[in-house]
Each structure stands twice: as C-alpha cells, then as structure tokens.
A and B are shown apart, each in its own frame.
Chain A
C-alpha cells in the first residue's frame, strides 16, 4: 500500500506598493489530497508505509487474521480514562499476535494508540503513544522483533465512535494492532 501525496505549489503575491502600510499577503495554499497525485503538481513525493507483501506468506497465516473465529481477528485493546496499562483480559489476544509475528518473520505491524476527546490534543497524542507502546512492549517480551513493530499515536484525532459520552469515549480509548494493507 503506497500513500502518494502531492504538494501543489501555488504562490499568490498581492501586487501592491503602499508607501506606509504593509499589505497583507495571502498565504499560499498547499493541498494534500491523500492518494491522488494532482496533474501538474510541482512536487510529488512517494512515501512507502509498511509495504510488506503478504501474498507470499502461507495462506493459512494471513487468512487467520480475517477469520472471525480466530483470536487473531481481534485487534483492539481498550483502556480506562488516562490509563495505558494492558488489562489481563487482552493478554491472550496480544500473545496470539506475538506468536503470529514470530511465525511470520517477514511481516510487520503498526500499532495505533487512540484516546477519547477529553483534554489536550497534544497530551492525548502522548497518551495514545503510551498506549501503543505498552502493547508493543508486551509483543516484544513475547518474541516480536523491534524492527517488525512501530507504535504511533493518533491521539483523539481519529475517533472510531463519534459523539460524546462514556459509551463513545470507551470505544475510542484504544490501541489497534494493524498489519500491512490495513492502514
């Protein structure tokens, strides 16, 4: 999966020559449209993210990730407010993913930590990071390799449940373990 982003270089200069005032020059716009390189874009960069090809892996292994009866299809760890410890109930699931990482040495995982909408956005980035790191640490202890796993934070920016109230918040205090092609 490749994410291509385009930078449209546009500069608009207000042509004016006041003798005493400064003119307010309009800021130029950069457009980032996700996956679509704009025609005529002046700068296009390509950044690969976790581009591991799963097609060569044993089909049984990859299929297990999507099999609802397999614990590997479960990916989310949930937390209490302002907490980041992985509760005991999630340990069998994390253990199963550690085993999958061990058995599929070529695959990689991205762990995304999330928070509810309350409090500071930047503190929530750090809190989400801590949540993702706590899952990563557990995976490393169980045999995953450092170069297989990246932990990042989405803070409160990408809520799974929109809306306010504990029901939505509880769903958003979460780490997700994702494999290539899933993010």
Chain B
C-alpha cells in the first residue's frame, strides 16, 4: 500500500510498476536438462537474488529443470573444488556455482562457473562488476550464457517486451523485461494505443495511437519521451512494421480509399505505395532477409495471408485452409509463419511450416491475437482472453510449454517481443 501511494505521488513523472506481470507456466518440454544451481556464496546477505532470477529464467524456457537442493554446507562458490560424483548422485547434468562480493566502492562482483557434470569438466564462467541496480540484468546475462552453452541457441532472458495495458479508460504502452519485471510506461493516453513494433536495434518503437481521434502512426525512442509522427494522412494510418535494416517501415494507409500497404521512412519521408488491390491489405510483416512482405488481404473474398516482394510486385496466397487467417509473423529463421486462424467461433494461434505446408494449432484459447516471436524463435508471445480479461501468453514454438503473464489489474494486449540486446 505504501508503495502504491509512493507510486501515485510519482505518477506524473515516471509511472513506476504498480503491478508487474506475473507468470504462470503450464506444460514442459519433452526433454528438460536437469541443472543444479547452487545459491551464490554471499547472496544471502543481499535482498535481491541472482541465482533465483536465473533459475526462474531457465525454468521458464521449458528446456531446463532446476533441481531442488538441500542446504549446502559449506556454501560452494565458483572457486570451490567440484565433487562431480556428488552432483551426479543428485541427477544433475549441469551445475552452476557462483559468488557475489561487495567491493570497497559499493559495487558488486558477481562470478560464476558452469560445469558439465556428465563430462566432469568446467564449461566456462564470467566475472561481472556491477551496481546494485544491475544485479537482476546480470542474472539474465548469466542465464543467457548457460542457455547458449547448453542448447547451442541464443538465450532471450536479457530482452524486453512491449505491450499495451488498458486500465479503466486509460491506455498505457509499457516496456518490461522479458520476465515481466521493471515495467515502465512509454506512453499514457485516454485514447487507444495498438500495434507496437520494435525497431530492429531495439532503440525505438513504432505504434498506432488514437490520441487525435483517429489512428496515426508514431515512432518514439524508448529512452526519450518524444513522439514523432510517421504517418498522419487523411483516413486511417496503422499497422507499422520495420524493415529488418530499420531504414523504413511498411504501414497501412487509407488515404487513397481502401486500406493498402505503403513504405515510408521512419521520419515520415519517402512515401511509396506498395499494393493496389480492390480489397483490404493490412498487417505487413517483413521476412528476416528483407526480401518479402507477408500481409493479410481479403482480395480473394475472405481474409487470408499473402506475400509479395518487398520491392513491389505480384502477391502470392500463402494460407488456404479456413475462412479467416490473419496477423502473419515470420519466424526469425524465416522457415515458419505464426498467424491467427479462426476455427468455428475460436480464434487461435497457429504455426505454418513454409516448407512442408503443415499447420499446427498452438493453443486451445478462444480469442488469440497478435503473435510475436522471441528473437531466438523458440517462443511466441500472444494476447489472449481468459475469464473476460486480456492476458499475455507465451507458447513454445512446438506448442508444448505455455506461460501466462497476467496483470493484477487491467487488460494486457498487443505484445511485441523486442530484439536481442545489442
């Protein structure tokens, strides 16, 4: 309660997290790596845990199972000699030991080492010197290190997500860490906000705001509180999507009649019309190589997904099954397409393998919207509705692991997963 009061007092300045996203996980990967993460030596004296944050990160990925450990006496650290037989008897395949020490200047030295228990050899380790505020992001970095060493893929624990919260009549464009911590508002408005899209370098977000009583596309630096108009033409302006090199955006404008695709520079210059169809063309999404734009169109009579060369030209239809397939998002490796399909009265996230043409329905929800890939392609973040409330949900791209991110008050929607940290 005191925190809430303090938050209200500060509310004109920074909108601190009134209630951060909480995460609930269901399902699990078929083969999870059993990992022992010992509490870091010296950690007990701190209020903020490092080992607990990295442990939660790894478990949330669905690829790791963190073992329950008895109290370890004496407390091991990265400098300890490892008794591999002991860790093997605890059924650990991997082990993380570490320590946190306060330096004379008040900063912290965080050290860890990762061990392969099966091969009985150290894999590697890192030492960081950080401020107290950086302890949590350091934990994410360590989790990324462990994840990459043990799975061969990039971890996404240091990334950020953006989403829109509707609280009563108020709309907030929020940015938070991938685990829901450190939520901060970029924009607060009495009118709707939608379609946030991260610039490829993670420094800017394009979005649609109704603050002028109609949809207008803006770009805003994540760290500078200034809105820049990208597209404000007669009619509606919406659905911004960044080209992979960040040099331009695809947007949807109705200035010439129906909603059509256009290219525009982030500063609003160099407008160029891309499609000329008799129907609706919307929801553009660039392929990672920048060659193609996938989009939704009703040119064939019902909303379906098409693709066309990003330089313009003929469109090819991509989805054929069902009468309502929308919101295309290409995976970071370019091999699959996440989208929303209507099944009877349900709108569900699905994944299309672009090679085999196989479609896998990923959820059993009623109203999925706005899929967004994690930058390593392992998970897809979605908006869905549970019990009449908007929540975010993350599903692994094999459909096995599901997480639900809920806010104690308000509707959460329009998620966008940011790029890997640079």
Contacts and interface: CB of A to CB of B under 8 A. Distances in A.
Interface of A: 3, 5, 7-14, 16-34, 38, 43, 47, 49, 82, 110, 117-123, 125-130, 133, 150-155, 157-158, 164, 183
A3 B212 contact: yes
B210 interface: yes
Contacts of B254: 126, 129, 133, 151-153
Q: From B128, B131, B388, name the one whose CB has the most chain A CB atoms within 10 angstroms.
A: B131
Nearest to A20: B128
Given A11-B223, A121-B194, A126-B259, A20 B127 contact: yes
A157 B239 CA distance: 14
A24 B182 contact: yes
Interface in B175-218: 175, 177, 182, 184-192, 194-195, 208-215
B184 A26 contact: yes
A29 B184 contact: yes
- What are the 3 closest A-B residue pairs judged by CB atoms, nearest first? A126-B259, A157-B192, A152-B214
Given A26-B184, A130-B258, A133-B257, A11 B327 contact: no
Contacts of A12: 13-14
A125 B215 contact: yes
A18 B280 contact: no
Given A8-B225, A30-B227, A157-B192, A126 B252 contact: yes
B134 interface: yes
Contact of B13 (A7, A10, A17, A18): A10
A108 B304 CA distance: 36
24 contacts: A3-B212, A8-B12, A11-B224, A18-B130, A21-B134, A24-B137, A27-B185, A29-B186, A30-B227, A119-B342, A120-B283, A120-B327, A121-B413, A122-B283, A126-B236, A127-B280, A130-B280, A151-B254, A152-B235, A152-B236, A153-B214, A153-B215, A154-B214, A158-B192
A20 B223 contact: no
A29 B129 contact: no
Nearest to B164: A121
Contacts of B340: 119-120
Contact of B188 (A23, A29, A130, A158): A29
B226 A9 contact: yes
B225 A30 contact: yes
A43 B220 CA distance: 14
A152 B347 contact: no
Q: From B192, B210, B224, B225, name the one whose CB has the most chain A CB atoms within 10 angstroms.
A: B225
Contacts of B258: 126, 129-130, 133
A175 to B, nearest CB: 13
B68 interface: no
A119 B347 contact: yes
B281 to A, nearest CB: 8
A168 to B, nearest CB: 12
A27 B280 CA distance: 35
B195 A121 contact: yes
A34 B175 CA distance: 22
B226 A30 contact: yes
B137 A22 contact: yes
Given A123-B283, A125-B259, A32 B370 contact: no
A38 B257 CA distance: 37
B318 interface: no
Interface in B220-247: 220, 222-227, 234-236, 238-239
Contacts of B177: 24
Contacts of A183: 213
B152 to A, nearest CB: 23
Contacts of B367: 117-118
Given A121-B369, A125-B236, A10 B225 contact: yes
Q: From B158, B195, B227, name the one whose CB has the most chain A CB atoms within 10 angstroms.
A: B227
Interface string B346-363: 010000000000000000
Given A20-B126, A21-B130, A130-B259, A122 B282 contact: yes
Contacts of B238: 122, 125-126, 153
A120 to B, nearest CB: 4
B77 interface: no
A21 B224 contact: no
Contacts of B259: 125-126, 129-130
A27 B184 contact: yes
Nearest to A32: B189
